[in-house]
Amino acid sequence: MCSIFGIFDLQASDDAHALRREALERSQRQRHRGPDWSGVYLDAGAILVHERLAIVDPAGGSQPLRSQDGGLALAVNGEIYNHRELKRELAQPYAFQTESDCEIINALYREDAPASFLNRLNGIFAFALWDKAAGRALIARDPIGVVPLYWGHDAQGRLRVASEMKALEGDCKDVAQFPPGHWYDSATGELTRYYQRPWREYAAVEGVEVALTELREAFEAAVHRQLMTDVPYGVLLSGGLDSSLVAAVAARYARHRIEDGDQTEAWWPRLHSFAIGLHGSPDLAAARIAADKLGTVHHGFEYSFEEGLDALPEVIRHIETYDVTTIRASTPMYLLARRIKAMGVKMVLSGEGSDEIFGGYLYFHKAPNAREFHVELIRKLDALNNYDCLRANKSMMAWGVEPRVPFLDRAFLDVAMRMDARCKMVDKASGRIEKAVLREAFAGYLPDEILWRQKEQFSDGVGYGWIDGLKAHAEAHVSDRELSAADKRFPINPPQTKEAYFYRTLFERYYPSSAAAETVPGGKSIACSSPAAIAWDASFANAADPSGRAVAGVHGG
């Protein structure tokens, strides 16, 4: 994974070389995402800059990727897991210039319409493709928004795109997130949604059952695909269900090299796992149990509250949000990424997405029926790019560590989401807890104390003292008067708590524009604040704390 920066709609009157220097400077703001190499493309219509984190084909594969005739230039941030299958399916020859998995995008562009070939890609990506002969820019983002992408227009009306907002802030007054599952064509000026699945509508899944074996095998295939790498990798292991399942499946494939069809021994056959928490945290203890069972080389790191607090300004600068839950969880993840990077690991698998697919959040216990449960799952999936995907990607990439998320694999989603939501619902009367269907599908993979461990928010699992300490710190540094006038200082999404106010002041330090503030939807990811959840239980309407502990009568801790 890497970073991209582009400027399009250049005019004859533009000083191209001055713009090139400016583009390099803006791209440097996100070089932490790609510390291995930089590449620049310039012609009369476009500038593309790429900062590379070399994961596949590290000796080659530098970007922007050019076609043999020089007519196409492509800058990609991401991974295309099915690139080998897509190469075999090409209808016409294409002269590949590298072994990069992402170069398949150029080949597909040459023979197929964007709406068609984008739906054939199984991967996580954000890219900008420039067709010199046509004077056409094609910009696209992966279906769920695992990979970040922003866009806007500068004062001269030129279109700019970047992997992170910091490369556009100050230049684009209309900076915004590029929507997941969409593509933009500069030739028509149209933004088009390409990712539409039948399972988004409950009517398409009602009554559908998915066999446990099919669910398990689909996830095993997803993890196997995402082990595509030519560099040392590991797994994030909190000891909860999701990360433990990712680690368990990865451990089964770790000894063979995925890139040559499992024919040879892996270059790094020992699977390493990583966890972090305060002293005595639930996650550190549970992660050790899981690691011992799976036989991973485990690394459990402790951090102090003071270390986390010291990191907050940099965390917010990197993750580009003032959302309370996201910041709480991003900070330990950011500190963990630094440790992982120091050990020479460049890619990790993580468990994001499972709660949105299977209704793992504790307020889902209150869902009145399968239809409403399913509708809320779709809402949560649509919001992932603003919360958990944003956290995982930017916290890790702050130190040049690429996170991959097998639960959000496109093929696995099609299996797990076409299941009637009644199969995912909690049934207290029978003792059926959240994500029971997933736990049942992997019976025998993990010890029962891990397989049936109750849901913990990541920011809770690292140690309850983390959240309590953040609240106390904010209480000491934000006055009642400041909070009462929050809507005057912050008219866009005014903070409702002192902790939220404290984070907002740090965000404003780096991103002062109104457009930047508007990229954060609502400013609080309190799960129970959704209209559906409030309808399920009116007490959720007044919930001010997004911690899992706030769901009364559900959390056992």
Q: Is the peptide bond before 64 cis (omega within 30 degrees of 0)?
A: yes
Residue 275 has pLDDT above 50, yes or no: yes
* Contact by Cβ (8 Å): 141, 179: yes
pLDDT tens digits along 145-156? 999 999 999 999
Instruction: Fill in the amino acid letter for 16.
Output: A
Please choose, from the candidates 229, 180, 537, the residue with its C-alpha nearest in 3D space to the C-alpha of residue 384: 180
What is the pLDDT at residue 71? 97
Residue 49 has pLDDT above 90, yes or no: yes
Share of the chain above pLDDT 70, in %: 94
Instruction: Fill in the amino acid letter for 39.
Output: G
Whole-prediction pTM value? 0.94
pLDDT tens digits along 347-365? 999 999 999 999 999 899 9
What is the pLDDT at residue 93? 95
Residue 377 has pLDDT above 70, yes or no: yes
State the first-to-last Cα distance of the chain, in angstroms, to the nearest integer.
37
What would the mean pLDDT of 226-235 be, rounded to a whole number?
A: 93
Both tokens of 212, joined, read: 């446990």
What is the pLDDT at residue 461? 62
What is the pLDDT at residue 389? 98
What is the pLDDT at residue 166? 98
What is the pLDDT at residue 557? 41
Residue 383 has pLDDT above 90, yes or no: yes
Angle at 163 between CA 157 and CA 168, to 5 degrees: 40
Q: Write the CA distances from 224 to 157, 220, 246, 408, integer angstroms.
A: 44, 6, 10, 13
Q: What is the largest CA-CA distance in the chain?
A: 72
Residue 530 has pLDDT above 60, yes or no: yes
Between CA 146 and CA 408 the distance in angstroms is 8
pLDDT tens digits along 55-74? 888 877 789 999 999 999 99
pLDDT tens digits along 200-223? 999 999 999 999 999 999 999 999
Share of the chain above pLDDT 90, in %: 82
Candidate from 54-58, 314-318, 367-371, 542-546 with smallest mean pLDDT: 542-546
* Contact by Cβ (8 Å): 457, 528: no
pLDDT tens digits along 83-114? 999 999 999 999 999 999 999 999 999 999 99
Between CA 219 and CA 241 the distance in angstroms is 14
Residue recorded with tokens 């080949």: 107
Q: Is the peptide bond before 531 cis (omega within 30 degrees of 0)?
A: no
What is the pLDDT at residue 270? 86
Residue 507 has pLDDT above 80, yes or no: yes
Topology classification of domain 3-196:
Glutamine Phosphoribosylpyrophosphate, subunit 1, domain 1 (3.60.20)
The structural domains of the chain, with segments of one domain joined by +, span 3-196, 200-550
Backbone angles phi, psi at 360, to 5 degrees: -80, -15
* Contact by Cβ (8 Å): 426, 432: yes
Catalytic residue numbers read 2
Residues whose CB is less than 8 angstroms from the CB of residue 315 and which lie 6 or more positions away in sequence, other chains included: 327, 330, 331, 334, 395, 398
Topology classification of domain 200-550:
Rossmann fold (3.40.50)
Candidate from 121-125, 138-142, 445-449 with smallest mean pLDDT: 445-449
Between CA 107 and CA 87 the distance in angstroms is 8
Which residue did the predictor score with more confidence, 315 or 268? 315
Binned at pLDDT 50, 70 and 90, residue 543 comes out as low
Three-state DSSP state, 523: coil
